[in-house]
Structure 1
Amino acid sequence: MKACSRPGRGSVLLWTLWVQLVLSGSGVSAGDATKNCKLITDSKSERKALERLEPLVKINFTVESKIANESYTYVFQLCGDAGGVPGAGVIQEDKKTQKKTIIGRYNTTQAIGGSDWVMLIYGHGDHYSVHCSKETRQAIVMISCDRKIDMGPLEVVLEDRDRLHECFYLFELDASAVCPAIESKLSTGSIILIIAVCVLAVYLIGGFLYQRLIVGAKGMEQFPNYAFWVEVGNMTADGCDFVCRSKSRDDAPAYRGVTAEPLEEEPEERDDHLLPM
C-alpha cells in the first residue's frame, strides 16, 4: 500500500507545480509586453499609446531599399532586438558589406498616439560619419490604422540626412491594432428585442422537443404548454370582446330583418254557402 501511495503523492505535487506555472504565466498584466521600451518621459499618455502596439511585439518587420547604387535591408522590431542586435529597435544592413548600423534603440523611446495612429520614435542610434553634424541617428515609425489587415509590410518613406541637426529615418506600417474600437450601433430596445427573440426560440424549440421525445405528444399537443396558451387566447378574446363592443349581446336590435320562422297558418274561410242551391 505504501509503494502505491508514493507515486500518487508525487503526481499530485507535479500537477500542483504545473498549475502554479500556468497561473504565473497567465498573469501577464497590460503593458508587460512593451516593458522593454524605455520611455524618455514616462507619461501616462505615452505608455497608453505604446500599449496599443502590444500585438506587434516580438515580430521582425523587414523591408529592402535601393538608393542609386546602394542597397539596404531595414529591420524593425517593437521593444525587442531587431535582427538579433542587442538593444536595437531599427537596424540598417548593407547588402554588399553585411555591415549592420543601428538607426534607433528602444531604450530611448517616444510614443505619440492619435485617434487612429501611433508615432514611435527610437533615438540614440549610431553616429553619422559625415552627415547631420555627426549626430546620432533616430528612427520614426508611423503606424496607421487599417482594419483590413492585422499588420502590413514595413515601408521606407525617406532618410532626411541633409540637415544640420535632428536627422531621421521615416518608416510607415499599417496595422489594425491602432484602430479605434467600433461603437455598437444597437439601441437598448434592439438588444432587449434580440434577447427576447432568442429566449422565445429556445422556449419553443426546447419545449417542442421535450413534448415530442419525452412526453410523446402528437399534433398540436407538441406545442409547449398548449393548454395554458389556449386558455390565454380565449381569455384575451373575451377581454377584447368585452372592451370593444359598445352594446350588450342581450339587447334586441333596433331593426330586425325578415324572420326565417314559418308563419302561422290562418284558418281557411269557406264560401260554399254563397253558391246557388
Structure 2
Amino acid sequence: MTAFRIMSLVVAVAFQLMLLVGGGQASNNTKNCKLGTEYEKEQAALKLLEPLTNTTYSVTEKVGEESYTYLFQVCGDVDGVKGGGLVQKDNNKKTVVIGRYNTTQAIAGSDWVMLTYGHGEKYDLHCSKEKRRAIIMISCDRNVAAGPLKVVLENRERAEDCFYLFEMDSSAVCPVLSSKLSAGSVLLIIGFCCLAVYLIGGFLYMRLVVGAKGVEQFPHYAFWSEIGNLTADGCDFVCRSRGNRQAPPTYTGVATEPLGEEPEERDDHLLPM
C-alpha cells in the first residue's frame, strides 16, 4: 500500500464522517404531514422540522386534582394513535386526540415555526362542540437540539376557533449564520487540512508499512532534507546570468627599469662661424 493510497483512504473516511454529521436531514419524514395547501413556503417551513421527527415530546400539566399528559410528534403517530400528532391522556389513561398531522399548517418566521394540527376529537360541551386543534410554537434556541414541550394555554372559552397552545425551543429553526470567513481563510483551512492528511498518512505508512524509525518516519524525508539546496539551485538558475562575459580590459604595466641614455645632441653647428 502506497502513501498515496493511505492518504486517499484517510480523505475518504473524513468525507464519510462529514456526511454522517451533516446528514441529519437526509430523511424526509415530514412528508407524512398533509398540508391543506401545497404552498412552497409551507413546505419549506415544514422541512425545517425534519431533525425533530421520530421523537416523542411530552409534558404533564396539573389542573386542580386532575393531571393531563400531552404527547407530541412531528408528522408521526404518537403513542400508537394512527394519524395522531398530539394527544392528551388523563389520570385514567384515557386518550383524546388534540390534533392530527393529516391536516397540518406550517408557518415560518425569521427564527420560529408555528405548526398547527387540526381535526382533533370534538369537544363535549365547549366551543360549540367543534373539533379540537393544537398549535405548537417552535422557537430558535441554538443551545438545544430540542427543548422540553410546554403547555401555554387551552383556549376553550369561546364559541369557535378554540385551540391548545404549546411551545418548545429548538436549534432546527434557527437561521443559518452567514460565514465570516474570507476566500483566503477558506483556502488556508483547506491547505492546512491537506497538509495534516499528508503528514499523518505519510507517517503511518512509513512507520507501519516501511518500518522506518526516527526522522525517517517523516514522509519523503530525503526530498524535504534537500529542499534548501534545490531552492538555492533554482534561484541560481533563474536569477544569475549564464552568458559569456567579456574580460575586462587589461593594462600593461610600466617598466621599472631605467631607460637608456639618449645620445647627446650637439648644436655646435647652429653657432655662427
TM-score above 0.5, yes or no: yes
- Alignment partner, residue 124 of structure 1: 119
- Give the root-mean-square deviation of aligned CA atoms: 3.5
1:204/1:237 CA distance change after superposition, 3 Å:
farther
- Alignment partner, residue 164 of structure 2: 169
Shift of 1:187: 0.6
Contact 1:31/1:51 (CA < 8 Å) preserved in 2?
no
1:184 aligns with 2:179: yes
- Alignment partner, residue 231 of structure 2: 232
> In 2, distance between residues paired with 1:56 and 1:202?
35
Report SS of the residue matched to 2:113.
Answer: strand
- Alignment partner, residue 101 of structure 1: 96
> Structure 2 stretches of 5 or more lacking a match?
1-24, 242-247, 249-273
> In 2, distance between residues paired with 1:41 and 1:30?
24
Report SS of the residue matched to 2:54.
Answer: coil
Report SS of the residue matched to 2:152.
Answer: strand
> In 2, distance between residues paired with 1:83 and 1:105?
13
| Alignment-mate amino acid for residue 100 of structure 2 | R
Report SS of the residue matched to 1:35.
Answer: helix
Alignment length (residue pairs): 211
| Alignment-mate amino acid for residue 109 of structure 2 | G
> In 2, distance between residues paired with 1:57 and 1:43?
21
> Structure 1 stretches of 5 or more lacking a match?
1-28, 243-249, 251-277
Shift of 1:160: 0.8
> In 1, distance between residues paired with 2:47 and 2:165?
21
Report SS of the residue matched to 1:104.
Answer: strand
Question: Structure 1, residues 238-270: CA drift from partner, whole Å, max 9, x if none?
Answer: 99999xxxxxxx9xxxxxxxxxxxxxxxxxxxx
> In 2, distance between residues paired with 1:231 and 1:224?
9
Question: Structure 1, residues 37-57: CA drift from partner, whole Å, max 9, x if none?
Answer: 111112111111111111222
Shift of 1:184: 2.3
1:231/1:81 CA distance change after superposition, 3 Å:
closer
- Alignment partner, residue 66 of structure 1: 62
Question: What is the TM-score normalised by the length of structure 2?
Answer: 0.65
Percent identity between the aligned chains? Answer: 52
Question: What is the TM-score normalised by the length of structure 1?
Answer: 0.64
| Alignment-mate amino acid for residue 69 of structure 2 | T
1:47 aligns with 2:46: no
Name which of 30, 35, 45 aligns with 1:34: 30
Question: Structure 1, residues 3-26: CA drift from partner, whole Å, max 9, x if none?
Answer: xxxxxxxxxxxxxxxxxxxxxxxx
| Alignment-mate amino acid for residue 116 of structure 2 | I
> In 2, distance between residues paired with 1:91 and 1:132?
18
Question: Structure 1, residues 192-230: CA drift from partner, whole Å, max 9, x if none?
Answer: 2333445556677859x69x949x97xxx9563444522
Name which of 76, 80, 83 aligns with 2:76: 80
Shift of 1:110: 0.2
Q: Which structure would you say has the larger RCO, counting Cα contacts within 8 Å and 6 or more residues apart? A: 2
1:113 aligns with 2:108: yes
1:150/1:226 CA distance change after superposition, 3 Å:
same
